Amino acid sequence: MSAPDLPAIDRTLDSPSVRRLAESFLRSQDPARAAAGNTAIRRSGTPVTVYATNPGFVADPAAPLDRAGVASYIAVPVRISDRPETDTVQLVPTPSYPPRAVATGTEETTQPLPANSRLLLDYPTHTWFAWTRSEITVLTPGTVPMPKGRVFDAAQFRGWMASR
């Protein structure tokens, strides 16, 4: 997957559908700001494509490591109106980048992702990985104890996914 198209993402952030999501988010997180109206959303950092672990990778022992994940969403760090915190708008990972949700924080965009790697999330364990064609490295362990920095090859990662 190629890098997200920033002008297209900015157009999505300026859309009525994102504004409605942001207004709903503000009502739940910051009611006083929501009551003020005039919700403004602006990108405050670089979007990151988040990949989810692919169950099909475990089922196919011949699958290369490149098939360990599938594009799940694009995480866009944003500022909403005058809210002091940075939050995340989640977009469908293909153009025209329709919005999915707004979430508190910037967990995805603050992961220490090495150059030439993709961000891989194992939803069942909430573990974040750096993923390349040749290895997968633990960035942030989730609910399954394992050391940060642990490196997996394809067979090891397949085994880990099957055992979790």
pLDDT of 36 above 80: no
**pLDDT value at residue 31:** 82
Helices (H) and strands (E) in the chain — how many of each? 5, 9
Per-chain mean pLDDT for the chain: 94
pTM: 0.92
C-alpha separations of 144 from 123, 149, 152 in Å: 12, 14, 15
pLDDT of 69 above 70: yes
Per cent of the chain over pLDDT 90 is 85
pLDDT of 125 above 70: yes
**pLDDT value at residue 30:** 79
**pLDDT value at residue 35:** 65
pLDDT of 1 above 80: no
C-alpha separations of 35 from 17, 20, 79, 151 in Å: 18, 13, 17, 48
Higher pLDDT, 87 or 144: 87
pLDDT of 46 above 70: yes
